[in-house]
């Protein structure tokens, strides 16, 4: 379990091999085998009773089942073409999907024990801190790139991703997840159960992660973070907390090394400013201006989305039942860079609805396995609104990426998201039980 969670941050290959093309094994490829083995050992009654306590995991389980069933469509299609590359790749991806789900299931199951749950919180704080050091070190030029040079040739000077994976969105979105996690820990009562050193580490993470998100040069991650901050100001009435953090963060910015400041400026110029030309935009405030901005900043995603929609209209059968998971070559031969369009193309309307029902559980009553014997400080309303802001920003971001899916270029983001949502739900439950206790007193 510990290694599986670590593997979501550590995506460096541990073994290369040739099967159909060049493949490589990651740490979670190994740990998932053990996770699945332990799953086969537990009773079905225990599995079902645990899922009853979590609509979030139960809905994801239904989606995972349907995605597995879609392998049959991929197999038939590959059989007709006599080319089984996509089937084997899709089978591999479904293996990851089950690994992410079962790791989250077991984490949910064991997190009812406060000592164990607290141990995992500390572990994640340490992992985030180490990853931040690596990413800062790479941007300062003191830590070398950990990925082959070919990936740096693809992504250019803005490519530095620590141990996450050769794709800008992986370090960017993982840092965004971690940023929200750090906020949760900083404002939840569980921090009183941790020693001073862990609280200091978490606060350092809280200050560092916004910088890391910018340095990742992932537009989707940066914009998602901005959306999250906007919704925080809309939902949260504890403005003095946010104001204090902003002051400290601005002070922190002033003491950053000049090389980091130069990198931030370079990211802005390279990833945003050069795509934006005010002279080519409508002078009024119409929706056309927003569309043109998206066309400019989307680096071709608007056109890809239109092409994908056009192909779906031409293939109503695919829209109905899907082409099979990871079988996107049947449409435009590439990713749509839109989670919802990809779902319609691969899993059809049924898979699309199952995924939406899973996302809907993000806003439902908290899932938890924690015993109500633990009573902590009242802070539930604040944390619930942090979670709501986080979930809304993620759902919006899926219009611009497929980071909550199982493509190789997303690596462990989906698994990381599942773990963080379980943690957020458990932390909110801490506050709820304490509030109930105080009302009785």
Per-residue pLDDT of the chain (441 residues; tens, 9 = 90+): 889 999 999 988 877 655 555 567 888 989 999 999 999 988 888 888 888 888 999 999 999 999 999 999 888 888 887 777 778 888 989 999 999 999 999 999 998 888 899 999 999 999 999 999 999 998 888 988 887 777 667 666 556 788 887 778 899 999 999 999 999 998 888 888 889 999 999 999 999 999 999 988 888 999 999 999 989 888 776 666 677 777 888 888 888 888 888 888 888 877 776 665 554 555 555 555 555 555 555 566 777 888 888 888 888 888 888 888 887 656 666 677 889 988 998 899 999 999 999 999 999 865 555 444 444 445 787 888 899 999 999 999 999 888 998 876 668 899 999 999 999 999 988 777 655 444 433
pLDDT score for 20: 55
> How far is Cα of residue 385 from the mean position of the Cα atoms in its chain?
19
Q: Which residues contact 402 (CB under 8 A, 6 or more apart)?
A: 335, 336, 337, 338, 339, 342, 410
pLDDT score for 292: 56
3-state SS assignment for residue 282: coil
Inter-residue contact 178 to 123 (CB < 8 Å): no
C-beta atoms surrounding 45 within 10 Å: 8
d(CA 34, CA 3): 11
Question: If we measure between CA atoms, which residue out of 356, 153, 169, 122 comes closest to residue 161?
Answer: 169
pLDDT score for 221: 92
pLDDT score for 305: 81
d(CA 6, CA 277): 42
pLDDT score for 329: 59
C-beta atoms surrounding 248 within 10 Å: 13
Instruction: Give the residue carrying structure tokens 């801490």.
Output: 430
pLDDT score for 298: 56
What does the DSSP assignment read for 36-47? HHHHHHS-HHHH
3-state SS assignment for residue 280: helix
Q: Tell me, what DSSP letter sits at residue 15? A: E
d(CA 58, CA 378): 29
Inter-residue contact 57 to 51 (CB < 8 Å): yes
Tokens found for residue 173: 């979105």
In the Cβ-directed half-sphere of 81, how many Cα atoms lie within 13 Å? Answer: 14
pLDDT score for 283: 52
């Amino acid at each position: 379990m510990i290694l599986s969670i670590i593997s979501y941050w550590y995506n460096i290959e541990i073994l290369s091999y040739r099967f159909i093309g060049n493949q490589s094994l990651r740490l979670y490829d190994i740990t998932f085998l053990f996770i699945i083995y332990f799953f086969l050992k537990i009773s079905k009654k225990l599995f079902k009773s645990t899922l009853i306590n979590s609509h979030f995991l139960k809905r994801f389980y239904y989606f995972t089942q349907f995605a597995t069933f879609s392998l049959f469509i991929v197999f038939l299609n590959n059989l007709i073409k006599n080319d089984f590359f996509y089937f084997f790749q899709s089978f591999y991806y479904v293996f990851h999907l089950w690994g992410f789900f079962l790791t989250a299931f077991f984490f949910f199951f064991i997190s009812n024990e406060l000592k164990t749950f607290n141990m995992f919180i500390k572990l994640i704080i340490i992992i985030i801190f180490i990853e931040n050091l690596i990413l800062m070190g790479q941007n300062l030029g003191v830590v070398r790139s950990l990925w082959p040079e070919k990936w740096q040739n693809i992504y250019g000077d803005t490519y530095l991703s620590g141990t996450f994976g050769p794709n800008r969105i992986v370090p960017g979105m993982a840092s965004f997840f971690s940023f929200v996690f750090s906020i949760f820990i900083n404002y939840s009562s569980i921090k009183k159960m941790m020693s001073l050193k862990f609280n200091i580490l978490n606060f350092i993470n809280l200050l560092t992660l916004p910088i890391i998100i910018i340095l990742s040069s992932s537009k989707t991650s940066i914009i998602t973070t901005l959306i999250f901050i906007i919704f925080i100001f809309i939902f949260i009435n504890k403005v003095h907390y946010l104001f204090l953090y902003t002051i400290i963060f601005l002070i922190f910015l002033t003491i950053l090394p000049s090389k980091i400041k130069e990198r931030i400026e370079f990211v802005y110029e390279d990833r945003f400013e050069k795509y934006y030309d005010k002279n080519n935009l409508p002078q009024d405030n119409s929706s056309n201006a927003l569309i043109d901005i998206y066309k400019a900043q989307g680096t071709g995603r608007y056109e890809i989305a239109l092409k994908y929609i056009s192909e779906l209209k031409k293939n109503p059968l695919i829209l109905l039942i899907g082409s099979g998971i990871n079988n996107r070559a049947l449409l435009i031969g590439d990713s749509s860079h839109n989670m919802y369009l990809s779902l319609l193309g691969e899993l059809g309307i049924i898979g699309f609805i199952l995924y939406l029902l899973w996302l809907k559980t993000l806003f439902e009553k908290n899932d938890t396995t924690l015993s109500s014997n633990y009573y902590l400080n009242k802070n539930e309303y604040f944390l619930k609104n942090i979670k709501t802001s986080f979930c809304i920003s993620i759902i919006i971001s899926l219009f611009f990426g497929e980071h909550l899916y199982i493509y190789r270029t997303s690596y462990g983001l989906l698994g990381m998201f599942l773990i963080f949502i379980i943690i957020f739900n458990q932390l909110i439950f801490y506050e709820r039980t304490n509030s109930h206790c105080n009302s009785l007193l």
